[in-house]
Amino acid sequence: RPPRSTLFPYTTLFRSENGHAVGVRTAQGEIRCQVVVNCAGQWARQFGRLAGVNVPLYSAEHFYVVTGKIDGVTPAMPVVRDPDGFIYYKEEVGGIVMGGFEPVAKPWKVDPIPATFQFELLGEDWDQFEPLMTNAIHRTPCLETAEIKMLLNGPESFTPDGNFILGEAPELRNYFVCAGFNSSGIANSGGAGRLIAEWIIGGEPSTDLWDVDIRRFAAFTGNRKALFERTAETLGLHYAMRWPRQELETARPLRTSPLYDSLRVKGAEFGSKNGWERVNYFRPGGAESPAHTLEKPGWLPWMIAEQRATRETVAVYDQSSFSKLQLQGHDALDVLQRLCANEIDIPVDKMVYTAMLNERGGFESDLTIIRQRPDRFGDRFLIVTGSAQTTRDFDWISRHIAPTEHAILTDISALYGVLSIMGPNADTVLSRVSNNAFAADPLKFSWTRLIDLGFARVRAARMSYVGGPGYELYVPVEMMRHVYQTVTEAGSDLGLVDAGYYALDALRIEMGRRAWGAEIGPDETPFEANMMFAVKLDKASAFIGQDALRQKQMQALRKKLVRIVLDDPDVYVWGGETILLDGAPVGELTSAGWSPKAGACVALGYVRGVCAQQDHRDTVAQVEVWGEKRAARLTTA
């Protein structure tokens, strides 16, 4: 019998069988159960560790004052928030409770939290509270003379991105988490409880919960030092102005490509996705990082230069953050045929883009799959998916491998880098560095080939997310620097430039390419996203979501994806803005960017209702931008 836990004296061990939670063993005996739900609040991370489950959250000290009675304050007083002052108010017994979320928060240094800690207060810290009190006195001068009964300080937990955590843990089946509500538990509790209940009963959520899904977090997010630093930032942003494309700054850099230092010297401005440092854009020599804005961003001219190079000469993108999974085994093909809506029984070295659907016919993911040469363990497939989706996609695929099937899924993301060579001169660059490997036998679109590149051996894939000619190079990570240097030297006289994800994103929008989390997700079907090219509805083997699609094929669309071009080049949109037809709201933008070709912003979005039943070709429309209606043209995507 294991020793009693010092963190949870009444719980000593989680019981699991075949990767499923089946109960807990306590000091008072064993409790068998079908489902475990971790609702342990600020203890959820410690409680999760007992079962080997990662629940990334950390406590911070949270302050508020309680005043004596104040003239004019009655129970009818509403809850008041002043985000500019980082403060809130509510009435209590004729007085006021005033608290807030200071810009630089104070993580609680007690970790682990003792199991005996309950409903206790921490020590006063007026220096920490002073900025909030100063702002409150400015907003409500009565506080300057009001009786302050007490300054209360209690710990409250926050997550690395400021959203709460729901869902079944990828590490253990039948173990659910409902925690990390970031000071908004009461407001979210009803909906969270219902969604967890639906998830437990139905086996998957009934709606798109990606923003709060526990699978958005990889295992490394449980690092205590990183959580300590990030908590000071996320609590501080609770009432702060969140600018478009604003990046979190703490606990970085962490996951880096071998090219990180070389690209930083070239002026790379990095963003972070699932812990990976990815280039957003490149600053010209000597230029300062531009300030955040709601208008046209200061980095726009630099991004346009990267876009033009991609369209007119050649550009190189470091996309090493791609999630790369390997599925191999004698039953690997059967597993993928069941999970993927497109035909996966393709020739060796061929690649296929496919939807992966849920039972409702909505997207669980979109994948690029390359069939590799089989080995003694059976078929081998390289599965390439988005940077943020590693844990989610790994979980979805692995949970659908039957115990009797011979199929092994491995995350090999860190073993291979990806360089994308895009533009009209991409063929010339690759021919120079690969001994004219494609001269006699050009690589066709959606095919791959192992080639010699410089001194390295890499897999070249003919494809382009941004549209136009291009290749993706899958490079062993230890050879990335050599391959990058070889490619950039070969393209120096061809106009080759380094480019980042802002250009990539804008170019894919210009070409109507969909993106996970924007245009596609669990609530969107291939019919609505106009992506039946990623589905083979009549393929011989059944796949998840096939029956739902056949039913929806006969039904009217709830919504339809459209492409929008703004008329005014001075108007800048970021995504999320309302689409209007004849002055009435009909949908919203899902993503937006700048198009040098159009000389204005372009966007993708969904229209609903009657508009979803219509075919649109340069339909006159409007987009509401900061309260003003701006002219646009709308076309079915």
60 CB burial (10 A radius; 0-12, 13-18, 19+):
buried
21 CB burial (10 A radius; 0-12, 13-18, 19+):
buried
Residue 528: the pLDDT is 98
Beta bridge partners of 96: 91
Reported for 190-193, long-range contacts at CB under 8 A and 24+ positions apart, including other chains, are 192/164, 192/166
Query: What size, in residues, is the chain?
Result: 637
Residue in the block written with tokens 């494609």: 438
Both tokens of 504, joined, read: 């990539």
Residue 2: the pLDDT is 39
Q: What is d(CA 201, CA 331) in angstroms, rounded to the nearest whole number?
A: 29
Task: Read off the DSSP letter of residue 521.
Answer: S
> Which residues, 6+ apart, have CB-to-CB distance to 330 below 8 Å?
377, 378, 379, 406, 407
DSSP helix/strand/coil, 333? helix
Residue 331: the pLDDT is 98
Q: Containing H/E element for 134?
A: helix 126-139
> Which residues, 6+ apart, have CB-to-CB distance to 220 below 8 Å?
226, 254, 255, 275
Beta bridge partners of 329: 379
**By the 8 A CB rule, do 617 and 634 touch?**
no
Sign of the dihedral through C-alpha 607, 611, 616, 621: negative
546 CB burial (10 A radius; 0-12, 13-18, 19+):
buried
Q: How many Cα atoms occupy the beta-carbon half-sphere of 356 within 13 Å?
A: 25
Q: What is d(CA 371, CA 494) in angstroms, rounded to the nearest whole number?
A: 33
Q: How many Cα atoms occupy the beta-carbon half-sphere of 536 within 13 Å?
A: 16
Give the pairing type, strands 80-82 and 58-67.
unpaired
DSSP helix/strand/coil, 78? coil
DSSP helix/strand/coil, 364? strand
Both tokens of 448, joined, read: 């791959």
- Rounded average pLDDT per 10-residue block, the chain, 637 residues: 46 78 85 93 93 96 95 94 95 95 94 85 94 96 94 95 96 96 90 96 93 97 97 93 96 98 98 98 94 97 98 98 98 98 98 98 98 95 98 97 97 98 97 89 95 97 94 98 98 98 98 97 98 97 97 96 98 98 97 97 97 96 97 97
**What pTM does this model have?**
0.94
Both tokens of 459, joined, read: 């897999």
User: What is the maximum alpha-carbon separation in the chain?
Assistant: 89
Q: How many Cα atoms occupy the beta-carbon half-sphere of 201 within 13 Å?
A: 7
Both tokens of 84, joined, read: 């500019």
